């Protein structure tokens, strides 16, 4: 009780406490600010998972906009390649192959971007399979998108 | 209690404690983000997969309805559903996907002032690889054509989808007008879209002659779903 009274009434050293609080605030704000610009490293362990997620999301977004079935069923491979290049980050290389249900390749020209050696040498090549039901009639297509970071 | 309120010497300590607590709370989200940055969330990569199956199943119902309204083949929906059920397993082999349906409905009500073509399917999706079981989603596709009024050479119609939202971008090629008495086709000069307070968007079909008292209007949506409405004065 006596100690409490002393503690509550003691006024000397207040400036030190203010200094500590201000210093702590500066550190917190500095950390928060630095966090905004932090470039977090990619994990080799989850690299393939991250690329798979990216691949699924890109194909799904293009499908939702109606671009994917339009380009695939009209066999407009150049526009499909352009759409993928726009949608994927610049350092992600891709190779898309379109098959029918019997796994016969449909695209006669490669839908490819990047360095071919990156696909051969990298240990982290992600492969995403995506299905389309048809455009005017029931005619499924299988899209296999391979992704690798360049 | 009174003593505590009256005393002023401890106020500074309380403020200091509150500020330290505030700082700890501010740092907590930063620490949480750092700790969980590499935490693997298996759901995230499958959300687009589930979305793609839903989207393509919806498209299957649309193209089945379009086919049904062209051919009136009542089996087309179940045929397509059964094929899609097998093919999803083939396409996504390795995921343990099973797509089934529990109710499939296909119908049309034509040659009335308010006509419609409709399909309704409830799907059940299981994905073994992520432990997803019994995920149900319902797809409804509908095209509603209503002849609102006839005025000399103009026919006012509204075309709506399953959400009662107007179907946009319809042109002369999407409509056909027939004299119900003689069964002859009436030429369309142009299709003008107008705003209507009640219907939101209506189409004014401008014919090349005076519209007869009994008329049939046919419409094909951009997805090629067909509907036929009839209007008699």
Q: Which of A9-23, A43-57, A131-145, B39-53 has the highest mean pLDDT?
A: A131-145
**In Å, what is the CA distance from B203 to each residue of A131, B139, B220, B223?**
37, 27, 13, 18
- Give the pLDDT confidence score for residue A7 in this predicted structure: 53
The percentage of residues in chain B with a pLDDT greater than 90, rounded to a whole number, is 69
- Is residue A28 pLDDT above 70, yes or no? yes
- Is residue B217 pLDDT above 90, yes or no? yes
Nearest to B172, CA basis, from B145, B191, B159, B194:
B191
Model pLDDT for residues A109-120, shown as the tens digit of each residue: 999 999 888 888
Query: DSSP character for A41?
Result: P
B8 vs A144 pLDDT, higher one:
A144
- Is residue B6 pLDDT above 60, yes or no? no
User: Which tokens hold the place of B220?
Assistant: 């094909």
ipTM: 0.76
Model pLDDT for residues B49-98, shown as the tens digit of each residue: 899 999 999 999 999 999 999 999 999 999 999 999 999 999 998 888 99
- Give the pLDDT confidence score for residue A42 in this predicted structure: 64
Binary contact (B9, A9; C-beta < 8 A):
yes
- Give the pLDDT confidence score for residue A15 in this predicted structure: 77
- Give the pLDDT confidence score for residue B200 in this predicted structure: 86
Polymer length in residues for chain A = 150
**CA dihedral in degrees (A104, A74, B165, B119; nearest 10)?**
-40
User: Which tokens hold the place of A18?
Assistant: 């203010």
Binary contact (B88, A131; C-beta < 8 A):
yes
- Give the pLDDT confidence score for residue B4 in this predicted structure: 52
- Give the pLDDT confidence score for residue B175 in this predicted structure: 96
**pTM for the full model?**
0.78
- Give the pLDDT confidence score for residue B38 in this predicted structure: 64
- Is residue B45 pLDDT above 80, yes or no? no
Model pLDDT for residues B170-190, shown as the tens digit of each residue: 999 999 999 999 999 999 999
Element (H, E) at B150: strand B132-151
In chain B, which residues have their Cβ closer than 8 Å to the Cβ of A140? 84, 87, 91
Q: What is the mean pLDDT of residues B196-204?
A: 89
B17 contact A CB<8A:
no
The string of DSSP letters for B90-109 reads HHTTTS-EEEEEEEEEEEEE
Residue A30: band (very low, low, confident or very high) from pLDDT cuts 50, 70, 90:
confident
B22 vs A102 pLDDT, higher one:
A102
- Give the pLDDT confidence score for residue A8 in this predicted structure: 53
Q: What is the mean pLDDT of chain B?
A: 89
Binary contact (B63, A134; C-beta < 8 A):
yes
- Give the pLDDT confidence score for residue B35 in this predicted structure: 76
Q: Which of A120-124, A142-146, B95-99 has the highest mean pLDDT?
A: A142-146
B60 contact A CB<8A:
yes
- Is residue A89 pLDDT above 90, yes or no? yes
Model pLDDT for residues A31-81, shown as the tens digit of each residue: 878 877 777 666 666 788 889 889 999 999 999 999 999 999 999 999 999
B130 contact A CB<8A:
no
- Give the pLDDT confidence score for residue B115 in this predicted structure: 96
- Give the pLDDT confidence score for residue A11 in this predicted structure: 62
**CA dihedral in degrees (B109, B110, B113, B117; nearest 10)?**
60
- Is residue A3 pLDDT above 60, yes or no? no
Sheet (strand B175-179) strand order: B185-186, B175-179, B214-220, B226-232
Residue A21: band (very low, low, confident or very high) from pLDDT cuts 50, 70, 90:
confident
Distance from the Cα of A114 to chain B's closest Cα (Å) equals: 24
- Give the pLDDT confidence score for residue B2 in this predicted structure: 56
Residue B118: band (very low, low, confident or very high) from pLDDT cuts 50, 70, 90:
very high
The answer to which of B21-30, B36-45, B219-228 has the lowest mean pLDDT is B36-45
In chain A, which residues have their Cβ closer than 8 Å to the Cβ of B83? 138
Q: Across the interface, which of B37, B48, B55 has its CB nearest the CB of A40?
A: B37
């Amino acid at each position: 009780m006596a100690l409490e009274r002393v503690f509550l009434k003691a006024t000397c050293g207040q400036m030190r406490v203010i200094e500590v609080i201000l210093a702590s605030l500066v550190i917190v704000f500095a950390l928060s600010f630095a966090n905004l610009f932090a470039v977090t490293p990619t994990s080799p362990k989850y690299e393939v998972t991250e690329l798979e997620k990216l691949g699924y999301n890109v194909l799904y977004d293009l499908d939702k906009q109606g671009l994917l079935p339009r380009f695939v069923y009209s066999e407009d491979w150049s526009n499909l390649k352009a759409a993928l290049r726009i949608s994927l980050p610049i350092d992600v290389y891709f190779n898309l192959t379109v098959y029918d249900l019997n796994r016969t390749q449909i695209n006669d020209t490669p839908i490819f971007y990047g360095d071919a050696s990156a696909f051969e040498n990298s240990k982290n090549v992600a492969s995403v399979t995506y299905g389309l039901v048809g455009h005017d009639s029931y005619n499924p297509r299988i899209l296999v998108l391979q992704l690798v970071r360049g | 209690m009174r003593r505590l309120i009256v005393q002023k010497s401890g106020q500074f300590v309380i403020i200091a404690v509150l500020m330290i607590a505030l700082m700890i709370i501010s740092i907590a989200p930063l620490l949480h983000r750092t700790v969980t940055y590499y935490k693997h969330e298996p759901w995230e990569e499958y959300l687009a997969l589930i979305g793609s199956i839903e989207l393509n199943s919806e498209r299957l119902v649309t193209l089945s309805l379009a086919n049904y309204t062209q051919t009136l083949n009542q089996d087309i929906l179940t045929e397509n559903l059964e094929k899609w059920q097998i093919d999803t397993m083939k396409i996504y082999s390795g995921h343990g996907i099973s797509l089934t349906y529990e109710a499939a409905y296909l119908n049309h009500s034509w040659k009335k002032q308010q006509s419609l073509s409709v399909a309704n399917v409830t799907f059940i999706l299981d994905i073994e690889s992520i432990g997803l079981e019994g995920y149900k989603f319902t797809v409804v596709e509908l095209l509603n054509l209503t002849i609102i009024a006839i005025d000399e050479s103009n026919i006012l119609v509204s075309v709506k989808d399953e959400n009662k939202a107007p179907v946009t971008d319809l042109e002369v090629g999407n409509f056909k007008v027939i004299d119900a008495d003689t069964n002859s086709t009436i030429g369309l000069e142009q299709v003008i879209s107008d705003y209507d307070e009640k219907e939101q968007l209506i189409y004014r079909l401008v014919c090349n002659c005076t519209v007869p008292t009994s008329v049939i209007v046919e419409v094909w949506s951009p997805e090629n779903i067909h509907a036929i409405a009839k209007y008699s004065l």
